[in-house]
Each structure stands twice: as C-alpha cells, then as structure tokens.
Structure 1
Amino acid sequence: MKKKLWFYLWIAVTSYMAGPVMYALTMYTFYQETDALTTSLIGWTTATFSSVGILFILVTVILLRVLHIYYFWLQTLLFELLFLVFVYMTTVLLGVGNTRLPSLSFPFTSEGIPLWMFWGSIALMSSWGIWSARQPIRKSPYMLASRVILILFILEIWPR
C-alpha cells in the first residue's frame, strides 16, 4: 500500500476519534457528565461515518476538484453542512423514542449541541487532514493534533 493511502486511512480513523472526544468534553463542560459515551453511540456513529460519512467526503472532494473551486474553507463548510445531517439522524439511529427527524432547531438544544460538536469535529478534522495530505510541508501540525486526539480517545474509552 502506498504511503499516501496509509495517511488517508490515518485521517479517517483519527477524524472519527475526534468526535467522541469532543462529545465527551462537551458533555463534561456543559453538564458535568463523566460517562457520556455509550457503546451504542460509538457503534452507530462508527457505522454511519465509515459508510455514509466517508462517501460524503469523497463526493465533496471530487466535486470541488472537478469544478476547480477546491479551497480549504469551502471544503470545511461543505463538510460541516453535510455532517449536520448526521446530527439529526443520530437521534433516530440510537432509538431514543424518535421515529421521525427532530425539529430544525435541534442542533441548538441541550441534546443537540453535544451531537453537533461530535459530528462537527469529525468534519473539521477530516477537512484539515485531506487538505494537509495535499500540502506535504503542512502535515506536521495535523499529525500532532491527530496524535493528541488518539491519546484522548484512548483515555476516554479506557475502562476505569
């Protein structure tokens, strides 16, 4: 496997790990919850990201390159908007009693903010990683941040 493909795999894995880390930090900061991550949250969001999330990212990057408007902030904005769909879908997938999509103001509610941080941080880390993969001299800050995310993720899910 080429070195660049390994880097894209690293981007996918550490970008996903940013979500649970930010979710746990948000839950602790706003609600003083220490055990906010559940296996169902990790399971459903991992499946969603590894199937539909990566597809969204791939299609967005290809579309931006074909249209010759491939800019970091535009890519990040599109990722954030696409991943906002997952904020709404997570409540349905987790089966918290909702059989329909929540209201449009859901990301601004007390239940929606942690999910928005979850998916928003994944979108931001994915965008930054893909952008840094195309800029070989700018990989070091991303690699440092992704290693910190990896350590925080391990510390968060490690059984106490």
Structure 2
Amino acid sequence: MRVLIFIAYFIVSLTQTSCKSQKQGIVEEESQNDPRITLVDSDDYSGFYEAETMVIRDMKSLSKFYSQVNKTRKPGLPVPTIDFTKHTVLAICAGEQKPNSKMVLFYGKEEGNRLKINMKVKKSNALNEPEITVISYPFYIYTIPFTDKLIDFQYSE
C-alpha cells in the first residue's frame, strides 16, 4: 500500500514540476544580441497558421492575444505581467517553422515617427542532429522600451 502511495505522489509531483503552464517568469534568449529587446515568452504552438506580427500596448490586448493562443490548451499559458508604462510588447507569430529554429529581433533604423525592427530566423547549427520533419507554429513575446512610434517589421536573411 505504501508503495502505491509513493508512486502516486511521485507521478503527481513530476507532472507539477514539468508542466510548462506552471512555469512563470522571464525566459532568457541566449542568442539575442540587442539588450533593449527581451524575450518574455515563447512556445511552439501559437494557434496562428500564417506569419503575423503585432504591437501590443495594453494589458487587454495582451490578454486577447493569449486567449487565442490558449484556445486549445488546458490549462492555458499564463499571461505575463508587463508594465506598459515602461515597455511595449512585440508579439511575433512565425507561421510554419521547421524544428530547431528561433526568431530573433534586432533594432533597425529610427526615422522620424517610425522604428524598424528586423526579424531573423536562426537555425540550429548542430551537425549531428538527425533530420526531423516536425512542423511547428511558434510565437514569441518580446518587450522593448516604451515607444509610441509606428513599428515596422522587416524580415532579414
């Protein structure tokens, strides 16, 4: 009987610590070069099947974005807490992506009332990885210092 209780306790504790929806906080992106851009959240499934970029300037819009992302999740991903007086949120839905690729953002030119954000897909350089045919539809939530400028997104190679 004690063995069964121990096994049940082990399984419950394992699922609680491994469940991604229980994890909160800021996710660090090791390949990000610009310290003004911070990756806050990302996941391999966004619910958006086409590439889409969004500038989010208030909590209501961020919650609406996460309601779309969480439509097929139980429990859903938690909405990050953002201070919109200090930060502007950039939501990037990358569309169809192959495995081992990450979206990275860089500041571009600032001209008048416009700010360019360059986006680049970085692929893993692992030589010994087997070819995997899994397709994902990832999203990335980045913050930048607060700006009321119009933001133009540009893909770079």
- TM-score band w.r.t. shorter chain: under 0.3
Structure possessing the higher relative contact order (Cα contacts under 8 Å, 6 or more residues apart): 1
Which has the larger Rg? Answer: 2
* TM-score, normalization by structure 2: 0.26
* TM-score, normalization by structure 1: 0.26
- Which structure dedicates a bigger proportion of its chain to helix? 1
